[in-house]
Copies of this chain bind each other. A is one copy, B any other.
Amino acid sequence: MAPSAAPTRSAGRQRDGRTDAALIDAVLDLVGRGATLSGISFVAIAEHAGVSRNSLYRRWKTKDALYLDVLASLNRPLPALAGTSVLDDVAELLAVIIERSVDPRASQMLRALNAEASKFPQLHRRYFEEVVAPRRAVLIDLLERGVERGDIVNDVDVDFAASVLVAPILTSVAFNMTQDLDPKVTSRQIADLVFAGLAPRPTVD
């Protein structure tokens, strides 16, 4: 969030809260249109938000500080899962991830961050810590419970398995091919394939 509102309101005109929102939104808009993090200028942001440069610079001195708040605005908590079966829960979680990843502004933000990780190392790290890691944590937890229940083989590297499950989604997002993703269909497709495996299973009958 923007500068924390001081409890003791000082004298002078108050900042217009809508300006903060408009500016953050402008950044997301520009990024969504294919702009680069380092390519976006304060001038462009202010103009796009319909705000004076002055008001922008007063709030954030550096791009890093601004982008940090932009990232924070993208973060939303995950919904609870049904909890019927591990397979279903995984599929459901993947569906949620897909839903959010499809948002063109968020996905382009991701690509921009990946491309300029060396210029914005702090941002790159924060993105993982605040957006990616929570999702991973939920998924890993899910898988571990699956192992306990016996629904998942116990010699598997849960951490790695989580990566494999999410990878197809992240790849589509990272390569700007989100049109291939469908929340319901793709999520189940992935879950089914990774759970069943490619190698044929001996028929029990």
The reply to whether the CB of A36 lies closer than 8 angstroms to some CB of chain B is yes
> Shortest Cβ distance from A87 into chain B, in angstroms?
8
Q: List the B residue with the shortest CB-CB distance to A203.
A: B202
- The reply to whether B116 and A36 form a contact with Cβ atoms under 8 Å apart is yes
- The reply to whether A150 and B200 form a contact with Cβ atoms under 8 Å apart is yes
- The reply to whether A176 and B36 form a contact with Cβ atoms under 8 Å apart is no
Instruction: Report the separation of the CA atoms of residues A179 and B175 in the bound assembly, to the nearest whole angstrom.
Output: 20
Instruction: Report the separation of the CA atoms of residues A203 and B29 in the bound assembly, to the nearest whole angstrom.
Output: 55
Instruction: Report the separation of the CA atoms of residues A194 and B117 in the bound assembly, to the nearest whole angstrom.
Output: 30
A199 and B151 in contact, given A112-B115, A167-B164 (Cβ under 8 angstroms)? yes
Q: Which residues, 168 to 192 on A, are CB-close (under 8 Å) to B? A: 168, 170-171, 174-176, 189-190
Pick from B116, B151, B161: contact of A193, CB under 8 Å: B161
> Shortest Cβ distance from A204 into chain B, in angstroms?
5
Pick from B117, B174, B175, B196: contact of A199, CB under 8 Å: B196
The reply to whether the CB of A55 lies closer than 8 angstroms to some CB of chain B is no
The reply to whether the CB of A111 lies closer than 8 angstroms to some CB of chain B is yes
By a CB distance below 8 angstroms, the chain B residues around A150 are 200
Instruction: Report the separation of the CA atoms of residues A153 and B146 in the bound assembly, to the nearest whole angstrom.
Output: 24
Instruction: Report the separation of the CA atoms of residues A174 and B166 in the bound assembly, to the nearest whole angstrom.
Output: 13
A36 and B200 in contact, given A163-B171, A168-B164 (Cβ under 8 angstroms)? no
Q: Which residues, 110 to 155 on A, are CB-close (under 8 Å) to B? A: 111-112, 114-119, 124, 143, 146, 150-153
Instruction: Report the separation of the CA atoms of residues A161 and B196 in the bound assembly, to the nearest whole angstrom.
Output: 12
- The reply to whether B152 and A198 form a contact with Cβ atoms under 8 Å apart is yes
- The reply to whether A197 and B194 form a contact with Cβ atoms under 8 Å apart is yes
